[in-house]
Structure 1
């Protein structure tokens, strides 16, 4: 039996809310949008690359966002002593480059788990919480900046996902 990326429902972001719930609702909307762009596709389709020499694929985008969620929310803001999943100093683009033998079902489940862990890592932190990022210790960020950055990161990559999905099967949408 061939694994297919599951369908999911996507809640619209809040129109009126306090700052933290507003930021969270937009982040959750973009997280769901990425998964929605993958829904109904099989592993081979999820691995399909955009255009040579790019290694960009929907599968790679999901893996990349697992790394970004982990890096900003858990490693940096939450201060957890963890490694990245797919990338290392020897393989900085492993999230995108190493999808050929990777299992999308495993990586999609890991992505969903990273979202839960990311949210849990910052649940008790204020938006004013400050910290350095381990890869750029000379800079100090606050959690508010991370939320805004993550919304921007997803918005940009969801645009890539739109184009990838249209190339795969012609599907378009919001």
Structure 2
């Protein structure tokens, strides 16, 4: 930014201008430089918790509203209302999660993929592949080379054989 602004000939740019015009020119140049060089922070996408029911979300919002009310007033009565809302929200979240998990377990025969995806999401340790030993005996740690090596291995194992030879004997 400094280099960019240093390259501008300020004497000629601001020559014979009023203070207001100079300020507007300087401000527009600084805005231009900020837009050009300062990266914008990307907003993280918040994922909605799948197990939360509409009732649980409503109680969470009510609890948050009661917390703001208590923080604003500081009264004991508002604090007791907040605590009651907190207990109700916690209980509703617990019930919502329990019913979601029961529904997943009940539908395992029809939708086993989503059940096992949910179970895997709860694991602390993720399963990783590699490092692998190549055909030449070297250890492979790079992702693309490991994928190529696995592809070669599986394509060599799963080949179509001529069944007519097996039936003749």
Decide: shared fold, TM above 0.5: no
How does the TM-score come out when normalised to structure 1? Answer: 0.21
TM norm structure 2: 0.22
* Higher RCO (CA-CA < 8 Å; seq separation 6+): 1
